[in-house]
Amino acid sequence: MSKFLMLTLLLFSVSVTAVEWQDLNKQQQQVLKNAEQRWDSMPQEQRQKLVTGADRWLKMNDGQRQQIKSKFERWQSLKPEQQQHLREQFKKFRQMSPEQRKQIRGAFNKFQKMPKEQRAKLREKFQQAKKNRSRQGHKGKPRRKP
């Protein structure tokens, strides 16, 4: 019985080591300097995500960093409702099957390769179809022509 108790205590006493600010290297601290004041009050999971993100940031080249900065600035410029809508869309995407996600990525890549003018026309066409559906009270998928 004592072996079982000892094993149980050992298993339950093993926990994830907390990431302390002083345990971060200088580069990580520099990247995460805006979080330093809140660090001790953050949940361990959030700290770990920030450290992982900082490590990814440090491995990026200048071009990749600039691209991420631009995306972040664009995100911050969105209204809270727009941010929430995008979060919901991303959640739906993550819940799709791998095959569905692959299909959507393929369509997106195809869209990205189109000339700007063609993408603009396609966006306009999509927006118009969306307006027409909302006027009709239809919230389902657009009908395809036979």
Where in the chain are the domains? 108-136
pTM here is: 0.57
Angstrom CA distances, 80 to 55, 76, 77, 86, 134, stand at 28, 9, 9, 10, 23
Closest residue by Cα to residue 126 from 109, 111, 104, 113? 111
pLDDT per residue over 58-109, tens digit each?
999 999 999 999 999 999 999 999 999 999 999 999 999 999 999 999 999 9
User: For 119, which DSSP code?
Assistant: H
pLDDT per residue over 64-74, tens digit each?
999 999 999 99
